[in-house]
């Protein structure tokens, strides 16, 4: 799969390591769920013309086995997630790279775990602050196994047109601008991830582009060195020139100078050691990275640049000339025929993410849902146009809140009070009615609160609570058609239909329902007008003349009174729309939820077991 390079080390002899770390078929694991970095790798794959994504799986040690959704071009794909590296390796034996986004606390242990898996050949450690002793041990172990570690404290690297590590190279726009979607002729290595991204752009503007770029990381003891990657590049035929950025501190650049002198590096190399400004400071200065600190004159940037220049490297006079030296070297190689520029391939266009496009105002999309009653996007939730703090300052009560949310206007105080009265009188009709009965049965059977109350709520209909809307519709329709109370009763009789809102099992004209009495008296005293209530009371006179329990019941009284309220506070057309939508049954839903919850809690307090009917509660029909 790889071509391998034998190298001699001071303390480890003849250990083999790969020359080519990545190819267009490289597959990787991402350790820790890094959504943005993973998507950037997949976008790079797509513009590079890869047929398969470079990320095979995500290892999420704090999660469970599952899948994560990403985009590969315009197509949505699922990438499996595993809890352990071992399981991921077993499920994906073709993976040989792990990009380790573990924190500095667990980076060493997770890297050791990956090193123990034979198929994983390259590990990239992103975390900064990995203990130096751990970094040394990891490097030694990787060398003994013929594996490569990039990092710690690295952004990673890019093999142009083949494979990108995490966030290396930046956004997809920068990737294309820096021509990283196709291979060039330059091999680049540095310590700094930030400077490497800048260097990719410089290389793209002054050469035919990057072949491979690696940021080894800024820690004092990196898993692989500048020289090791330059030697790799020396042995890759498609790389025609080398570019490097060193930095103050350490002796890595002297190793490069010795390699140039001994002709281990024969390709032209443009190199600059940053930190020459340190001589302007009277005291010792550390430049960002843990290793960027000169402990002696020999570790200064000026001394290193001089040594590299003397060894035969192409060293600019300052960083300002860095791009010029790169361009001059490239043009010489083109003139010699060493590099033959190729035409630029077409670049597939990456679809813009919906959220980004929407934020930038590039697209518009109809909403799946429209809400006109509330808004929770600001500093505080709005009920209609009223901030929640104002709801309490003005003390509009439950009735006021309900009027805003249901009818998109704040009803006056008399109407808000009526809403609260309606909820109060519908809260409970006792344990015998169907809704309470079902709630009790479910509670005794061990069901939870929501399930028990839902069981009771499902009984709401024309015979139980639904009569509020039914009564409102029947009475308002008859009234609007100009029928008299007698004509209405006769019409319903001919249809063979009961009048919803009329009739009670227990109460009668002689034993009135106090709830109806309270509602009628309040309406007569506070409403602007009560034409529909008056019509219903005329109907009651006719029906009770036939049978004394055919009274206007609580559902009917609430229904007709609410129509009177709505027609007083909005247009008749809008009021009728709410009646036909079935809005008024919502009063019963709100009130009865209170009662059913009470029945549930009552049964739980009683701690009765599974509900069973006694034998004498069941009638058995054998005919």
Q: Helix or strand or coil: residue 223? A: coil
Q: Residue 209 in contact with residue 240, Cβ under 8 Å?
A: no
State whether residue 253 is helix, strand or coil: helix
The rounded distance, in Å, linking the Cα atoms of 223 and 125 is 9
CA 157, CA 150: separation in Å to the nearest integer? 9
List of long-range contacts for 138-142, beta carbons under 8 Å, 24+ apart:
138/108, 138/111, 138/112, 138/223, 139/221, 139/222, 139/223, 139/224, 140/12, 141/112, 141/115, 142/115, 142/223
Place of tokens 């599952």: 66
192 vs 215: CA distance, rounded Å: 6
- Contact between residue 272 and residue 248 where contact means Cβ atoms under 8 Å apart: no
Q: Which one of 289, 429, 504, 599 is the catalytic residue?
A: 289
Give the separation between CA 139 and CA 222, rounded to whole angstroms: 8
Round to the nearest angstrom and report the end-to-end CA distance of the chain: 84
Task: Give me the sign of the Cα torsion angle 370, 376, 381, 387.
Answer: negative
What's the CA gap between 446 and 232, in Å, rounded? Answer: 70
Taking the C-alpha atoms of residue 72 and residue 41, their distance in angstroms, rounded to an integer, is: 10
DSSP annotation of 446: T
CA gap 179, 47 in Å, rounded: 10
- Residue 366 is given by DSSP the state -
CA-CA-CA-CA dihedral for 393, 394, 400, 404, to nearest 10: -80
Centroid of chain to Cα 400:
36
What's the rounded Cα separation, in Å, for the pair 501 and 493? 15
Contact between 598 and 605 (Cβ < 8 Å): no
Number of helices and strands in the chain (H, E): 23, 18
CB contact at 8 A, 119 and 147? no
Q: Report the alpha-carbon distance of residue 343 to residue 608 in Å, rounded.
A: 83
User: Which 3 state secondary structure label does DSSP give 65?
Assistant: coil
Residue 289 annotated as catalytic:
yes
Tokens of 378: 């600001």
Query: Which residue's structure tokens are 């009735």?
Result: 399
Q: Report the C-alpha gap between 182 and 176 in whole angstroms.
A: 9
3-state SS of 129-166? CCCHHHHHHHHHHHHHHCCEEECCCCCEEEECCCEECC
Three-state SS across 294-341?
CCCHHHCHHHHHHHHHHHCCECCCCHHHHHHHHHHHHHHHHHHCCCCC
Angle at 171 between CA 84 and CA 36, to 5 degrees: 30
Tokens of 322: 């860095």
Q: Give the catalytic positions in this structure.
A: 289
């Amino acid at each position: 799969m790889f071509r391998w390079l034998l190298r001699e080390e001071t303390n480890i002899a003849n250990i083999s390591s790969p020359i080519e770390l990545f190819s267009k078929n490289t597959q990787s694991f991402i350790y820790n769920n890094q959504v943005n970095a993973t998507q950037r790798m997949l976008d790079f794959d797509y513009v590079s013309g890869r047929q398969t994504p470079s990320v095979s799986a995500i290892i999420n040690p704090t999660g469970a086995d599952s899948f994560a959704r990403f985009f590969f071009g315009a197509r949505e794909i699922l990438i499996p997630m595993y809890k352990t590296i071992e399981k991921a390796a077993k499920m994906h034996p073709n993976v040989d790279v792990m990009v380790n986004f573990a924190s500095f606390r667990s980076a060493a242990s997770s890297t050791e775990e990956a090193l123990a898996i034979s198929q994983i050949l390259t590990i990239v450690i992103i975390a900064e602050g990995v203990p130096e002793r751990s970094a040394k041990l990891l490097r030694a172990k990787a060398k003994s196994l013929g594996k490569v570690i990039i990092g710690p404290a690295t952004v990673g690297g890019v093999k142009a047109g083949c494979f990108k590590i995490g966030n290396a190279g930046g956004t997809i726009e920068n990737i294309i601008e820096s021509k990283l979607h196709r291979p060039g002729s330059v091999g680049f290595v540095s310590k700094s991830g930030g400077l490497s991204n800048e260097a990719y752009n410089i290389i793209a503007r002054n050469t035919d582009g990057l072949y491979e770029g690696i940021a080894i990381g800024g820690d004092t003891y990196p898993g692989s060195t500048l020289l090791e990657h330059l030697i790799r590049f020396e042995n890759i035929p498609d790389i025609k020139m080398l570019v490097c950025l060193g930095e103050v501190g350490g002796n890595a650049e002297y190793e490069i100078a010795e390699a140039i002198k001994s002709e281990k590096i024969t390709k032209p190399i443009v190199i600059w050691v940053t930190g020459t400004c340190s001589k302007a400071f009277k005291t010792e200065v550390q430049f960002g990275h843990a290793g960027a600190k000169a402990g002696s004159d020999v570790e200064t940037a000026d001394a290193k640049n001089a040594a590299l220049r003397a060894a035969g490297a192409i060293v600019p006079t300052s960083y300002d000339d860095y791009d010029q030296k790169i361009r001059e070297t490239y043009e010489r190689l083109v003139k010699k025929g060493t590099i033959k520029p190729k035409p630029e391939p077409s670049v597939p266009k990456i679809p813009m993410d919906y959220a980004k496009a929407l934020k930038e105002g590039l697209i518009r999309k109809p909403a799946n849902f429209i809400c006109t009653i509330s808004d929770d996007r600001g500093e505080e939730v709005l009920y209609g146009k009223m901030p929640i703090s104002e709801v309490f300052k003005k003390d509009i009560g439950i009735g006021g809140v309900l009027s805003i949310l249901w009818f998109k206007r704040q009803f006056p105080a008399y109407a808000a009070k009526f809403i609260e009265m309606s909820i109060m009188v519908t809260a409970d009709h006792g344990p015998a009615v169907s809704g309470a009965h079902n709630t009790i049965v479910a509670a005794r059977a061990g069901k939870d609160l929501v399930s028990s109350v839902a069981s009771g709520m499902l009984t709401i209909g024309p015979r139980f609570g639904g009569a509020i809307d039914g009564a409102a519709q029947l009475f308002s329709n008859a009234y609007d058609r100009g029928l008299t109370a007698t004509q209405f009763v006769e019409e319903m009789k001919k249809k063979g239909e009961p009048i919803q809102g009329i009739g009670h099992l227990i109460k009668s004209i002689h034993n009135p329902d106090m709830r109806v009495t309270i509602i009628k008296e309040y309406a007569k005293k506070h409403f602007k007008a009560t034409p529909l209530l008056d019509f219903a009371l005329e109907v009651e006179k006719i029906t009770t003349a036939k049978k004394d329990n055919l009274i206007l019941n609580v559902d009917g009284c609430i229904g007709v009174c609410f129509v009177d309220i709505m027609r007083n506070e909005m247009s008749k057309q809008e009021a009728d729309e709410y009646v036909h939508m079935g809005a008024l049954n919502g009063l019963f839903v709100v009130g009865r939820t209170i009662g059913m919850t009470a029945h549930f809690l009552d049964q739980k307090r009683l701690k009765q077991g599974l509900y069973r009917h006694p034998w004498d509660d069941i009638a058995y029909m054998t005919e």
